Amino acid sequence: MPVEKAITSPPPPSSPTLPWRATSTVVMGMTAVISRAFLYGLNKTETIGLDRFLEILDARKDVQNRERGLITVSNHVSVVDDPLVWGVLPIRYALNPSNHRWSLGSYDICFTNKILSKFFTLGQVLPTHRSQHSSFGGLFQPTITQSIRLLSSPPFPKTYSAVPSSRPSTVSESTPLLADDPFSSGSLTYSTNGTDSFPAPSAYEANRHAWVHIFPEGRIHQHPKKSLRYFKWGISRLILESEPLPDIVPMFIDGNQDIMHESREFPRFLPRIGKNVRVAFGEKVDGEKVFGELRAKWKNLVQLQKEALIKKGALMDMEMGDLTEGLKHSKEAQALREEVTLRIRKEVLKVRASLGLPDEDPKQGLVETWIEEGPKRTGQMDDGSFVGET
Ligand X SMILES: *[C@@H]1O[C@H](CO)[C@@H](O)[C@H](O)[C@H]1NC(C)=O
Instruction: Give every strand in the sheet of 125-128, ordered side by side.
Output: 44-48, 276-281, 247-254, 70-74, 211-214, 101-106, 125-128
Please, which residue, 196 or 332, has the CB nearer to ligand X? 196
For 260-276, letters b (16+ CB in 10 Å) and e give bbbeeeeeeeebeeebe
Smallest gap from residue 305 Cβ to ligand X (A)? 29
> What is the closest distance, in whole angstroms, from the C-beta atom of residue 220 to ligand X in the complex?
23
C-beta of 133: minimal distance to ligand X in Å? 12
CB nearer ligand X, residue 127 or residue 388: 127
Query: Could you tell me the smallest distance in angstroms from the CB atom of residue 357 to ligand X?
Result: 40
For residue 301, the one-letter residue type is L
Q: Which residues bind ligand X (CB under 6 A)?
A: 193-196
Quote the crossing angle between the two packed helices 331-354 and 234-241, to the nearest 10°. 100
Q: How far is the CB of 233 from ligand X (least distance, A)?
A: 24
Complex with ligand X: residue 83 or 137, whichever CB lies closer: 137
Q: What is d(CA 327, CA 26) in angstroms, rounded to the nearest whole number?
A: 41
Single-letter residue type at 376:
K
Q: Are 316 and 159 within 8 A, CB to CB?
A: yes
In this complex, which beta carbon is closest to ligand X, that of residue 17 or of residue 195?
195
Beta strands in 286-347 (DSSP E): 317-318
Nearer to ligand X, 64 or 195 (CB): 195
Q: What is the three-class DSSP state of 133?
A: coil
> What is the smallest separation between the CB atom of 72 and ligand X, expressed in angstroms?
28
* Shortest Cβ 193–ligand X spacing (Å): 4
For residue 133, the Cα-to-chain-centroid distance in whole angstroms is: 19
CA pair distance 321, 256, nearest whole angstrom: 34
**Short-list 124, 165, 379, 141, CA closest to 262:** 379
Cβ closer to ligand X: 54 or 116?
A: 116
**Contact (CB, 8 A) for 255 and 42:** no
Query: Quick one: 46 or 108, whose CB is closer to ligand X?
Result: 108
